[in-house]
């Protein structure tokens, strides 16, 4: 046993020593992210979605994993949410609806949510610390970063891998979401581990020893299957990567005549996401029924950018946007446009030329140059061209089928390997050439200087975007204290009915947008999910006092069990108006209180 531990210690020591800069980077990141996660009211850039995860995990932990179809349930915990699938209260259901094919539903059916299982299990074991949940996400993100580094190192070297990883780290795509409780950290771990293991496997594979390497096939397949249970944002990407890598191996070994093996491997890689998707369909069918399940899937697919009315420009921009999300160029242009950058652009390029065309041209032009001069680059350090082209094609295949998803900045993580390798390779080779600058011509020195300036600017852009987009706070400390007071105000079933001054100020344009997306009755904004998390009970939001009274009266009659209602507002006029309307309906009301600068009163439970 001691010999095994000694060998393990020596191996770990060698790995740390060989990759010391990366290990130091991980240590610094862990310390920074852990300190950032300490404040109770400090959330990541995707605070709404993190709250959804916590709300769903509570239902799974308290009611059992299978009592809610293993689907998302974005509500505060309580029994009255069962009525939100009824027509009279569907406007309070927070299950996303991607089209008008179905009414608003209680459960979230569009994406798999198995990544919530670890949090639900922790809650089941009695762990309910938001900091610990964030810490788990941070550790998962750093594990994904380790696989990202290992993958790039396996096709280049540790210097290029470190530069590429550092570039990914300082980007808002990573640093802004490193402690998110949604699927991104787990998606990174699974996706980048698949890419690393597949390259590791490819470099050692001999067809005559196929049986010896079946473990690698099994692990990669299992990880691909798990990925399909976590997210749909990278399934096509990973399949394209694995299928392309298989084709590269068969081409390299000149064994394309072994068609049966090739077809088997392609089918193997395809079967993992297909099986995961089939499981999700069964979950949806158990909740919606088969007919509505197909309508939901179809509506989701159309809403992701596959309508026949979608123009070519919009689809193309959605396909390539992740390349500019990871570089931050597009967001930086948007940020600096009011300060004169748009005027500079007008000097060289007319407004009639969309940026998507400019960016596409630059990508194609860069690839053409690399292909043209690749023989002259033999003395420098570049990953294989076939691998780079595959890294370019894989994210395009994902956003081709889901173009609207490509507009989301976090999708830049799919292009992070390609962009990171390009930046890392340019920076590393430029550093090597600096040692020989006395032997370089004036033209080569100019290109060398230009390359270094571009790399430096790209890093500056990422750091700037990360600094100007500070992570949001959720509720103030006073508001959190208010939620704790309400949470403990009485025992038994209860619900909060909330209407604030800002809720009634919704203009007609905003109201129409909500009617098209969810409902004019409901004020479904991310901060209200955070309120629901701290209340730990159902929260119903309104934009008109009449809507609040109507829904409360309906629930009083519909509920099959007694429950207490806490009505709250930040405005005295609103709370008095609601109080008078409910008193006119002869409901048992307690006097209005002022707690932490908010008004509230209790509607005592009626016996059904």
Closest of 33, 316, 74 to residue 178, by C-alpha: 33
Percent of the chain clearing pLDDT 90 (strictly above): 42
Q: Are strands 598-603 and 593-595 parallel, antiparallel or unpaired?
A: antiparallel
Q: Which of the four pLDDT bands, split at 50, 70 and 90, describes residue 595? A: very high
What is the chain's Cα-based Rg?
A: 27
Instruction: Let me know: does 71 contact 108? Beta carbons within 8 Å.
Output: yes
Q: Taking all residues of the chain, what is their mean pLDDT, rounded to a whole number?
A: 83
Mean of pLDDT values over 99-115: 79
**Listed range (6-20, 189-203, 258-272) with the worst mean pLDDT:** 6-20
**Residue whose tokens read 């531990």:** 5
Distance CA 538, CA 58 (A): 12
**Residue whose tokens read 């390798």:** 421
Instruction: Let me know: does 55 contact 532? Beta carbons within 8 Å.
Output: yes
pLDDT at 373: 57
Distance CA 47, CA 478 (A): 19
pLDDT at 211: 62
Instruction: Let me know: does 326 contact 165? Beta carbons within 8 Å.
Output: no
How many other C-beta atoms can be found within 10 angstroms of the C-beta atom of residue 256?
10
pLDDT greater at residue 36 or residue 360: 36
User: How far, in Å, are 18, 387, 491, 501, 506 from residue 509 at the CA level?
Assistant: 59, 48, 41, 18, 8
Residue by residue, what is the 3-state secondary structure of 8-46? Answer: HHHHHHHHHHHCHHHHHHHHHHHHHHHHHCCCCCECCCC
- For the segment 249-289, what is each residue's pLDDT rounded down to a tens digit? 888 878 777 788 889 999 999 999 999 999 999 998 999 88
**Listed range (36-45, 146-155, 357-366) with the worst mean pLDDT:** 357-366
pLDDT at 526: 52
- Whether residue 374 is predicted with pLDDT greater than 60 in this model: the reply is no
Mean of pLDDT values over 497-519: 67
Mean of pLDDT values over 389-399: 92
Characterize 259-277 residue by residue with b for buried, 16 or more Cβ atoms within 10 angstroms of its Cβ, and e for exposed. eeebeebeebbeebbeebb
- For the segment 33-64, what is each residue's pLDDT rounded down to a tens digit? 999 888 877 776 666 778 889 999 999 999 98
- Whether residue 199 is predicted with pLDDT greater than 80 in this model: the reply is yes
Domain boundaries 477-603, corresponding CATH code = 3.40.50
Q: Is 76 exposed, middle or buried (0-12, 13-18, 19+ CB in 10 A)?
A: buried
Q: Tokens for 175?
A: 């640093």
pLDDT at 377: 56
Instruction: Let me know: does 451 contact 426? Beta carbons within 8 Å.
Output: yes
- Whether residue 99 is predicted with pLDDT greater than 60 in this model: the reply is no
Q: Which of the four pLDDT bands, split at 50, 70 and 90, describes residue 517? A: very low
How many other C-beta atoms can be found within 10 angstroms of the C-beta atom of residue 95?
23
pLDDT at 244: 95
- Whether residue 207 is predicted with pLDDT greater than 70 in this model: the reply is no
Instruction: Let me know: does 106 contact 73? Beta carbons within 8 Å.
Output: yes
Output the CA torsion sign for 581, 587, 591, 594.
negative
Element (H or E) spanning 143, and its range? helix 130-155
Mean of pLDDT values over 322-344: 65
Instruction: Let me know: does 123 contact 147? Beta carbons within 8 Å.
Output: no
- Whether residue 521 is predicted with pLDDT greater than 60 in this model: the reply is no
Q: Which of the four pLDDT bands, split at 50, 70 and 90, describes residue 290? A: confident
Mean of pLDDT values over 98-106: 68
- Whether residue 116 is predicted with pLDDT greater than 70 in this model: the reply is yes
Closest of 163, 71, 88 to residue 426, by C-alpha: 163
Distance CA 146, CA 192 (A): 9
Where does 289-384 have alpha helices with state H? Answer: 290-301, 312-327, 329-336, 341-348, 355-373
**Residue whose tokens read 């090597």:** 432
Where does 171-311 have alpha helices with state H? Answer: 172-175, 184-202, 214-228, 235-252, 259-288, 290-301
Q: List CB contacts of 415: < 8 A, sequence separation 6 or more.
A: 322, 323, 325, 326, 395
DSSP class of residue 471 equals P
pLDDT greater at residue 122 or residue 92: 122
- For the segment 452-489, what is each residue's pLDDT rounded down to a tens digit? 888 888 888 888 877 766 666 678 889 999 999 999 99
Q: Tokens for 530?
A: 């955070």
Mean of pLDDT values over 367-372: 64
User: Bridge partners of 338?
Assistant: none
Output the CA torsion sign for 380, 381, 382, 383.
positive
- Whether residue 340 is predicted with pLDDT greater than 50 in this model: the reply is no
For the beta sheet containing 539-541, the strands, ordered from the edge strand earlier in sequence to the opposite edge, are 539-541, 494-498, 564-569, 598-603, 593-595
Q: Which of the four pLDDT bands, split at 50, 70 and 90, describes residue 206? A: low
Please report the DSSP string for 399-434 in residue order. Answer: HHHSGGGGGSGGGGGGTHHHHHHHHHHHHHHHHHHH
pLDDT at 249: 87
Q: Which of the four pLDDT bands, split at 50, 70 and 90, describes residue 27? A: very high
Instruction: Let me know: does 137 contact 341? Beta carbons within 8 Å.
Output: no
**Listed range (18-27, 207-216, 218-227, 478-487) with the worst mean pLDDT:** 207-216
Q: Which of the four pLDDT bands, split at 50, 70 and 90, describes residue 177? A: confident
The SS3 assignment for 541 reads strand
Q: Which of the four pLDDT bands, split at 50, 70 and 90, describes residue 169? A: very high
Closest of 448, 422, 419 to residue 433, by C-alpha: 448
- Whether residue 188 is predicted with pLDDT greater than 90 in this model: the reply is yes
Closest of 108, 89, 105, 99 to residue 517, by C-alpha: 99
**Listed range (67-81, 291-305, 564-578) with the worst mean pLDDT:** 291-305
Distance CA 478, CA 485 (A): 11
Kindly report the pTM of this predicted structure.
0.88
Percent of the chain clearing pLDDT 70 (strictly above): 80
pLDDT at 101: 59
pLDDT greater at residue 334 or residue 117: 117
């Amino acid at each position: 046993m001691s010999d095994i531990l000694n060998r393990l210690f020596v191996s770990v020591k060698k790995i740390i020593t060989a990759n010391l800069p990366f290990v130091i980077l991980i240590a610094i990141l862990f310390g920074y992210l852990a300190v950032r996660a300490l404040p109770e009211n400090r959330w990541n850039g995707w605070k709404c979605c993190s709250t959804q995860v916590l709300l769903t995990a509570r239902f799974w932990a308290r009611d059992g994993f299978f009592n809610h179809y293993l689907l998302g349930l974005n509500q505060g915990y309580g029994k009255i949410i069962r009525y939100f699938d009824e027509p009279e209260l569907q406007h309070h259901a927070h299950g996303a609806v991607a089209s008008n094919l179905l009414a608003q539903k209680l459960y979230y059916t569009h994406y798999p949510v198995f990544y919530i299982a670890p949090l639900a299990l922790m809650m089941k074991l009695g762990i309910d610390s938001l900091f610990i949940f964030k810490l788990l996400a941070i550790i998962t993100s750093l594990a994904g970063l380790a696989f990202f580094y290992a993958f790039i190192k396996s096709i280049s070297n540790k210097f290029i891998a470190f530069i590429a990883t550092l570039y990914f780290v300082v980007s808002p795509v990573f640093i802004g979401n490193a402690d998110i409780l949604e699927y991104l950290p787990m998606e990174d771990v699974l996706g980048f581990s698949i890419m690393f293991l597949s390259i590791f496997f490819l470099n050692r594979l001999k067809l005559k020893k196929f049986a010896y390497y079946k473990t690698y096939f099994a692990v990669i397949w299992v990880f691909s299957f798990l990925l399909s249970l976590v997210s749909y944002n990278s399934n096509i990407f990973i399949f394209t990567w694995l299928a392309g890598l298989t084709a590269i191996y068969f081409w390299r070994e000149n064994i394309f005549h072994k068609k049966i093996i090739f077809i088997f491997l392609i089918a193997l890689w395809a079967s993992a996401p297909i099986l995961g998707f089939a499981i999700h369909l069964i979950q949806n069918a158990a909740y919606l029924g088969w007919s509505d399940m197909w309508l939901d899937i179809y509506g989701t697919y159309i809403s992701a950018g596959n309508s026949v009315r979608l123009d070519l420009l919009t689809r193309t921009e959605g396909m390539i946007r992740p390349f500019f999300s990871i570089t931050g160029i597009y967001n930086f242009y948007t940020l600096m446009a009011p300060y004169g950058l748009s005027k500079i652009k007008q000097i060289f390029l007319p407004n009639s030329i969309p940026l998507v065309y400019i960016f596409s041209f630059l990508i194609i032009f860069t690839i053409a140059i690399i292909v043209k001069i690749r023989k002259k680059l033999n003395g420098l350090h570049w990953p294989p061209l076939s691998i780079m082209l595959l890294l370019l094609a894989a994210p395009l295949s994902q956003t081709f089928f889901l173009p609207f998803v490509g507009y989301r900045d976090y999708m830049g993580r799919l292009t992070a390997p390609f962009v990171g390798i390009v930046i890392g390779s340019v920076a590393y080779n430029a550093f090597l050439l600096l040692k020989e600058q006395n032997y370089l011509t004036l033209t080569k020195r100019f290109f060398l200087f230009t390359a270094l300036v571009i790399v430096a600017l790209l890093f500056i852009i990422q750091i700037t975007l990360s600094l100007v987009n500070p992570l949001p706070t959720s509720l103030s400390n006073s508001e959190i204290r208010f939620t704790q007071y309400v949470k403990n105000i009485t025992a038994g079933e209860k619900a909060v009915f909330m209407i604030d001054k800002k809720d009634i100020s919704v203009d007609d344009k905003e109201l129409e947008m909500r009617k098209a997306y969810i409902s004019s009755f409901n004020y479904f904004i991310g901060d209200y999910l955070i309120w629901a998390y701290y209340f730990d009970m159902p929260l119903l939001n309104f934009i008109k006092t009449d809507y609040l009274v109507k829904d409360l009266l309906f629930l009083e009659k519909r509920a099959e069990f007694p429950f207490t209602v806490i009505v709250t507002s930040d405005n005295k006029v609103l709370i008095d108006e609601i109080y008078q309307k409910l008193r006119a309906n002869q409901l048992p009301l307690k006097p209005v209180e002022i707690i932490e600068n908010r008004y509230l009163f209790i509607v005592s439970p009626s016996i059904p």
